[in-house]
Amino acid sequence: MQSVDVTTLSAICYDLQTHWIPAKVEQVYQRDRYTIFIALRTLKKRSWLTISWHPQAARLCIGDSPPRTPDTFTFSDQLRHQLNGFALIALKMISPWERVVDLQFAKRPGDEPVWHLFVEIMGKYSNVILTDSKQQIVAVAHQVNANQSTVRTVQTGQPYELPPALTGTFPKLEEDQTRWQERVSLIPGSLKKQLLNSYRGLSPVVASSMIKEAGLNPQDSTESLTEKDWKKLYQCWQFWLKSLKTKQFKPGYTEEGYTVLGWGIIDKIINIQTLINDYYANKINQEKFKQVKHQLQQKLKSCLKKLYSKANNFNQKIQQSSEADEYRQKGDLLMAHSHLWEPGMNSMTLKDFETEKPIKIPLNPEKNAIQNAQLCYKKHQKLKRAKGAVEPLLNEVQEEINYLEQVEDSLQQIDDYQSLEDLQTLQEIKEELIQQNYLPSPAQQMSNISDESQPYQHKTPSGFEVWIGRNNRQNDRLTFRTAGDYDLWFHTQESAGSHVLLRLEPGAVPNEADLHCAADWAAYYSKARQSEQVPVVYTEPKYVYKPKGAKPGMVIYKRERVLWGKPHKIQSYLKNHD
């Protein structure tokens, strides 16, 4: 994930100074342990200033409005108490090469600042600190005590001290090419490494893009460059410094991330605030997606492993119970042929009553034939009772396995993060598992997603819509809330999978191609998607029921008809439309 460097921060601050100073503070909200939102209103507009001290995504930009979940954080409560109703009258970087921004607040524009909010964007050391006009710390996002840092402590009640200043040579627009080239090439090495070692304030991202813009490779040795190469690189160097001085920025996305200098742009973005907000929101959602998916996969794997083991044990007991009739038969044979028993016998071989095949019956030599027969009858009764007790338990375990396999299949359908919808679907699966007591309930609700996720939607050859549930919440919603009287409901037969609706208007009649298309989608979004053909049932939604006490997504149905879905057709379709 690309970090906000001095160049990017300069572009952000210049845009904020131009369009958002002065502005009234109307609200403060904290979404999570790393992000606050400040509602700003100018004479022309209102929006939210996002301030984040996330270790990998620290930033400052105008962004999306916060979620509608309750804010229970102490830091935002302190900021609300001090800043509400005040005006943001100034915003500036404390030094041209330091990533610390001073946001100044006063009662009204033109007054002396009463509060300073210092935003320190420094990777894992990022922080946000509120001080009064005398630079006394009033509130801090992340307290740093002497045990955590011997260089600089940051705690409420202390005087605010700026982070240790950068040492070394800073870039200067006035430096000529000869002196600049001598400094960079003084010690032979890779071009990127020598640029970064020679100057402070230059980020790895700017160094790499600068070198590529000059037509060179970041790993090229300084000894291999020609005078023409040095001249091109110096021109890019000067362009960078002039952009910082004149505040002429060209934001956009690059193949590696983003830039504000116009180098290597593949998608130009007019507004720097939109670029920064979208880039980091997307990256954070990607990381969250990976974390949540891994957590759910591990939990499901663990639960299913235990359930499979439990089901196997129950099946073994039922298998043993199937031998109950054999013990009764042996008891009957011993009773009928007790006169053949002799003291000390370890076994008797007797003919079956019906087949007359010889059956060898082990005996307890200390007991006679009648007593051994009684032992067989006791064993018979015990196994019969065991079967009656185990079968309901096995059914419960199998129902739970079916449910978790359904959840697992929904999880496997979401391969990678493509949009916020994917994370939303994943969060709903997590919430469902929390409600079903498979995961502990979080003490703090940190989700920034409040709307319901939406199902997949595709078209049949005749243009009818096919709606596909992406998790159990969507499955239940599709089947019991969305489905109309004229729709058709599809699901794989005896296999975990999505609920699929073929949406039909009154009087519409789907042809065979439409039905098979819906069946193909149901087969593709199921646990059997790797099969050549998958049996898929379809019926009217009114014939689909949820049993009392059933878990989310679990239903029974009747009056079904069967089609063979072919998931490979959908794979080909998606590949061609990728």
As a whole number, the mean pLDDT across the chain is: 92
Please report, as a single letter, which amino acid is at residue 364: N
- For residues 144 and 155, is the Cβ–Cβ distance under 8 A? yes
**How long is the chain?**
578
pLDDT tens per residue, range 345-369: 999 999 888 888 999 999 999 999 9
- For residues 380 and 325, is the Cβ–Cβ distance under 8 A? yes
Please report, as a single letter, which amino acid is at residue 231: K
How far is the CA of 207 from the CAs of 18, 96, 128, 263, in angstroms?
28, 18, 28, 11
Confidence check: pLDDT of 221 > 80: yes
- For residues 293 and 426, is the Cβ–Cβ distance under 8 A? yes
Q: Which residues have C-beta within 8 Å of that of residue 193, sequence separation ≥ 6?
A: none
Please report, as a single letter, which amino acid is at residue 511: N
| CA 16 centroid distance within chain | 31
Confidence check: pLDDT of 448 > 70: no
| Count of beta carbons in the 10 Å neighbourhood of residue 331 | 21
The DSSP line for 546-568 is --TTPPTT--EE-S-EEEEE-HH
pLDDT tens per residue, range 3-27: 999 999 999 999 999 999 999 999 9
Confidence check: pLDDT of 192 > 80: yes
Helix (H) / strand (E) element for 129: namely strand 127-132
- For residues 373 and 357, is the Cβ–Cβ distance under 8 A? no
pLDDT tens per residue, range 461-494: 999 999 999 999 999 999 999 999 999 999 999 8
Please report, as a single letter, which amino acid is at residue 287: E
pLDDT tens per residue, range 368-426: 999 999 999 898 888 777 777 888 899 999 999 999 999 999 999 888 898 889 999 99
Nearest to 488 by CA among 526, 522, 525, 456: 522
Q: What is the mean pLDDT of residues 152-178?
A: 91
DSSP 114: S
SS3 for 137? strand
Q: What is the mean pLDDT of residues 279-299?
A: 94
pLDDT tens per residue, range 63-76: 999 888 888 899 99
CB-based burial, 169-197: b 16+ in 10 Å, e otherwise: eebeeebeeeebbebbbeeebebbbbbbe
pLDDT at 446: 45
How far is Cα 316 from Cα 309, in angstroms, rounded to an integer? 11
Report the Cα–Cα distance between both ends of the chain, in Å, rounded.
Answer: 26
Nearest to 465 by CA among 487, 490, 485: 487
pLDDT tens per residue, range 84-139: 999 999 999 998 899 999 999 999 999 999 999 999 999 999 999 999 999 999 99
Nearest to 37 by CA among 24, 54, 49, 45: 49
CB-based burial, 540-550: b 16+ in 10 Å, e otherwise: ebeebeeeeee
Helix (H) / strand (E) element for 477: namely helix 472-477
Bridge partners (DSSP) listed for residue 206: none
- For residues 281 and 63, is the Cβ–Cβ distance under 8 A? yes
Residue 164 burial by Cβ neighbours in a 10 Å radius (0-12, 13-18, 19+): exposed
β-strand pairing of 127-132 with 534-539:
unpaired
How far is Cα 252 from Cα 233, in angstroms, rounded to an integer? 21
Query: Domain 6-140 belongs to what topology?
Result: ibrinogen binding protein from staphylococcus aureus fold (2.30.310)
Q: Is the peptide bond preceding residue 22 cis, with omega within 30 degrees of 0?
A: yes
Confidence check: pLDDT of 445 > 60: no
What are the residue boundaries of the structural domains of the chain, listed by start? 6-140, 177-268, 320-394, 456-576
Bridge partners (DSSP) listed for residue 119: 101, 128
Q: Which residues have C-beta within 8 Å of that of residue 524, sequence separation ≥ 6?
A: 565, 567, 570, 571
How far is the CA of 7 from the CAs of 250, 270, 381, 563, in angstroms?
11, 17, 83, 60
pTM: 0.78
* Pair of tokens at residue 105: 């607040």
- Look up tokens 């375990």; give the residue: 397
- For residues 213 and 236, is the Cβ–Cβ distance under 8 A? yes
Helix (H) / strand (E) element for 246: namely helix 227-246
How far is Cα 243 from Cα 496, in angstroms, rounded to an integer? 58
How far is Cα 414 from Cα 470, in angstroms, rounded to an integer? 8
Q: What is the mean pLDDT of residues 45-59?
A: 95
How far is Cα 367 from Cα 342, in angstroms, rounded to an integer? 10
Question: CB-side exposure of 243: number of CA atoms within 13 Å?
Answer: 22
* Pair of tokens at residue 211: 């070198």
Helix (H) / strand (E) element for 411: namely helix 369-413
| CA 456 centroid distance within chain | 18
Q: Which residues have C-beta within 8 Å of that of residue 114, sequence separation ≥ 6?
A: 86, 105, 106, 107, 132, 133
The alpha-carbon radius of gyration of the chain (Å, integer) is 36
Q: Compute the 3-state secondary structure of the chain and give helix, strand, coil in percent, each to the nearest 5.
A: 40, 20, 40
As a CATH number, domain 177-268 is 1.10.8
